[in-house]
Structure 1
Amino acid sequence: MMTNKEKPVRWLMRWFSRLALIALFCVLLLLVLNSWFVLRQQSKIEQQVELCANDFSVAIVFGTSQFLRSGAPNPHFFGRVEQAAALYHAQRVEHLLLSGDNRTFYYNEPLRMQRALQDLEVPTTSTTLDYAGLSTFDTLKRARDVFQLQRALLVTQDYHLPRALYIAESLGLEVAGCAAPGPDWQDMKRLWLREVAARMRTLGDLHLWQRVPRILGDPEPLDF
């Protein structure tokens, strides 16, 4: 027979066991959903320029900051720019839609990408700047509704492409991915965890609360 002192301990142990099982279930669900997310899109991603799809006229290049907080060059930025330039020079695409954040006069991702591409001999006439690509979803929704695209090659790092491809396909776009070089895995651990969380949030954005872009605007079809 339990004493009065033993009852609270038994009650706490029972609830701790239940919480542990719930936590384990959530972790397993997260891992399963994440694996499904990646495997679903893997066949649409290529790493090398010469293997990337060549039946798309436009590549969408996702913006990011040119420099890290430390002041060092951001390998994500330069990897995307260099891959986009290589695709253009190899005639895999004709035009580049550079989409990113332009939150202040001093922070302009699309313009910085365009200038970096100029240094790589990509003419400005072959680029279009989307200043309201404030997120992956916003970039792709605007690509469809503002720039009137139905098909595009997506250029970003391989960890980001499964989410970008899934969003694009959910919006009815025909897409493939061309993975840009990025940082070493040792520098990616925290970013990978953030990306896993972003993938799960994307499911809610698309299928539960019907997310809309922060800025949409009138149609501006690409002319090239």
Structure 2
Amino acid sequence: MFWLLKGVLKALLASLSLLAVSIVVINLWILQKTHARIEHEVPLCAVQPVGLVFGTAQWLRQGGSNPYYQARVETSAELLRLQRVQHLLLSGDNRTRYYNEPISMWRSLRHRNVDDANMTLDYAGFSTFDSVVRAKEVFGADRLMLISQDWHLPRALFIADALGIESTGCAVPDDGIKGEWRLRLREWLARAATFGDLYLWGREPYFLGPFEPIRLSS
């Protein structure tokens, strides 16, 4: 019985070691594949017709404004002013009548003098995967600027690459918040899971819906 248990433990440790190595390798590959297309200076972000803004909570659970949200909104408004993008696709979670990320972003951008004509709201961006897939399949965007924190952009760019979207990343200012290391660690796991989504188990977005292409003003 002891030898059987010892064999099981060895097999388990070997499997966990293989899993850890696989996660590291996948992450290094994704980072190497995408880092050259991430710009950290907003005025230098490559010009694209549509900027995909990823939703996040406007307020922190412990109270106060979410700096990640504020940075994404302020950067998006600046990109429009600088004419680095023509249009913003605001994609986020709309899980309840009291929690609506696209509407929150829309209101914040309106307060920053962004016109309705320059914004489209995606209410079914329940995840990074869903937001990027829907940007192409629902809103007809085959060229995108992805707007988010720099540690989030590699995964989003990797998804866009797999879908054949010509994409670049514009990293918003990130001063960090307490406990950010947990988000960065989770992102390493999320990148590995995304590899599986795209190449192993064929993930589909939660909801697609009819084709509603973004009409860009000339």
How many angstroms does 1:181 deviate by?
Answer: 2.1
Q: Which amino acid aligns with 1:92?
A: R
- Aligned residue among 85, 96, 100 for 2:77: 85
- Aligned residue among 27, 30, 33 for 2:26: 33
Total equivalences in the alignment: 216
Q: Which amino acid aligns with 1:181?
A: P
C-alpha change, 1:105 and 1:45, in structure 2 (3 Å) is same
Question: What is the RMSD of the two structures over their aligned residues, measured on CA atoms?
Answer: 1.7
Hey, what does 1:192 align to over in structure 2?
184
- Aligned residue among 159, 169, 174 for 1:177: 169
Hey, what does 1:96 align to over in structure 2?
88
Distance 2:5 2:127 in 1: 43
Q: TM-score, normalised by structure 2?
A: 0.92
- Aligned residue among 147, 153, 156 for 1:164: 156
Q: Does 1:76 align with 2:62?
A: no
Could you list the per-position Cα deviations for residues 148-176 of structure 1 after superposition, in whole angstroms to 9, with x for gaps in the alignment?
11101000111110110010111111100
- Aligned residue among 32, 45, 48 for 1:52: 45
Could you list the per-position Cα deviations for residues 80-113 of structure 1 after superposition, in whole angstroms to 9, with x for gaps in the alignment?
1111111111111111010111111111101110
Q: Which amino acid aligns with 1:117?
A: L
Distance 1:210 1:26 in 2: 20
Q: Which amino acid aligns with 2:33?
A: R
Q: SS at the partner of 2:202?
A: coil
Distance 2:185 2:17 in 1: 17
Distance 1:210 1:68 in 2: 33
Contact 2:54 2:128 (C-alpha < 8 Å) held by counterparts: yes
Q: SS at the partner of 2:60?
A: coil
- Aligned residue among 155, 166, 178 for 2:147: 155
Name segments (4+ residues, structure 1) moved above 4 Å: 8-18
Distance 1:185 1:107 in 2: 22
Q: SS at the partner of 1:193?
A: helix
C-alpha change, 1:152 and 1:21, in structure 2 (3 Å) is same
How many angstroms does 1:50 deviate by?
Answer: 1.5
Q: Which amino acid aligns with 2:45?
A: C
C-alpha change, 1:25 and 1:85, in structure 2 (3 Å) is same
Q: Which has the higher Rg, Structure 1 or Structure 2? A: 1
Distance 1:15 1:154 in 2: 45
Consecutive unaligned residues of structure 1, counting only runs of 5 or more, are: 1-7
Distance 1:12 1:105 in 2: 52
Contact 2:51 2:144 (C-alpha < 8 Å) held by counterparts: yes
C-alpha change, 1:72 and 1:121, in structure 2 (3 Å) is same
Hey, what does 1:4 align to over in structure 2?
none
Q: TM-score, normalised by structure 1?
A: 0.89
